[in-house]
Amino acid sequence: MPEDAAPIAPAPASDPTAGSSDDEITVEDASFARTELPQDGSPPVVTTDMEVLHDKVKKQVIKEGHGKIPSKFSTCFVHYRAWVQSSMHKFEDTWQEQHPVEIVIGKEKKQMSGLGIGVGHMKSGERALLHVSWELGYGKEGSFSFPNVPPSADLIYEVELIGFDDAKEGKARSDMTVEERIEAADRRKLEGNDYFKEKKFEEAMQQYEMAVAYMGDDFMFQLFGKYRDMALAVKNPCHLNMAACLIKQKRFDEAIAQCSIVLSEDETNVKALFRRGKARAELGQTESAREDFLKAKKHSPEDKEIMRELRSLAEQDKAMYQKQRELYKGLFGPRPQPKPKAKNFAVLFWQWLVSLVRYLARMFTRKND
């Protein structure tokens, strides 16, 4: 059974995010060192010193990394966003596409040679701004794939080095057999689990992301039968582990996305349903959260954590109903009772007097008759 594919009940120790205890799934009293993902728009404003890596490549550190830098022919996994410096037009964003890019240092594509130089001077987890001259970018011709990259365009990259495999340890994914890619991804997942146990959460997230990078969409599309099952047994736990980390970081939208990836392959996955429900509940998406919890309960009816979350939603609904009831009562209040009209005693006296005169007149008339 996959490490992170079991129900929410306690799981083996090899899976650091399995189980259903508060410490492993809730967001209270937990924070990670990992910074927020970059936002859309222009390149970030960076005040650190400019480091010259090459006469055509300069670097500014946004966030420090850890460990050593990759050697030549190391296989690196990176996320980046790219702009044309003159127009500040963004033409590529791998964060938005949710697919890290593989770069083999010294073997990168010609138009990515400047990016490769920059990545070769970064540490795992480091994020930096790279300034690349057109000669090491898309050259005099510009880009046919990206029409907004004109000829002789200098480029700006915001790059994060997720991690890398040294040349002696591995090789490019395209040169690996199916078994080798699954094994490499599984090794990364296990390393991530070890970091998680040591509370080195930033390093753990990086390892999970690298494992997922080995299991890219193009690779998964080609698999079927036992090989697909083997790959999913590695890939899905990594998405679930990342979802648990993201919930603790209160990055709920990203956690929902990770769980949805798993549910697209296994719609009955209890952990994915539970964690997506948690994230949705935190965002105030009550009905969607309840739907996820009820689906999870259907497949794991005895799970106490699921029942607790459903009770919590019911209590929230009750509290909201009471609050709205009080609000509406205060707005409209009780229906006012009609007030009796004040009596004018002078008018009443004259009415009585006229009636008396008329009565006496009738009596006098009758007597004369």
CATH code of the domain covering residue 312: 1.25.40.10
Structure confidence at residue 338 (pLDDT): 62
Whether 145 and 181 share a structural domain = no
User: Which pLDDT tens digit goes with each residue over 218-270?
Assistant: 788 888 889 899 999 999 999 999 888 888 888 899 899 999 999 998 999 99
Whether 114 and 158 share a structural domain = yes
Question: Where is the domain boundary, 141, 165, 189?
Answer: 165
User: Is residue 138 situated within a structural domain?
Assistant: yes
Residue 91's closest CA among 155, 162, 48, 38? Answer: 155
- Of the two residues 283 and 7, the one the predictor is more confident about is 283
What's the rounded Cα separation, in Å, for the pair 104 and 73? 5
Helix axes 270-282, 304-332, angle to 10 degrees: 20
Alpha-carbon distance values, 280 to 244, 258, 259, 266, 286 (Å): 13, 13, 11, 19, 7
Whether 309 and 283 share a structural domain = yes
Q: Give DSSP secondary structure letters for 320-332.
A: HHHHHHHHHHHHH
* Mean pLDDT of the residues in the chain: 81
User: Is residue 369 situated within a structural domain?
Assistant: no
Structure confidence at residue 344 (pLDDT): 67
User: Is residue 2 situated within a structural domain?
Assistant: no
What's the rounded Cα separation, in Å, for the pair 8 and 244? 12
User: Which pLDDT tens digit goes with each residue over 165-188?
Assistant: 876 555 677 778 899 889 989 998
Number of H helices, E strands in the chain: 12, 7
Question: Where is the domain boundary, 132, 165, 198?
Answer: 165
Structure confidence at residue 1 (pLDDT): 33
Whether 87 and 142 share a structural domain = yes
Domain span at 222: 22-30+176-316
User: Is residue 204 situated within a structural domain?
Assistant: yes
User: Is residue 37 situated within a structural domain?
Assistant: no
Count the domains in the chain. Answer: 2
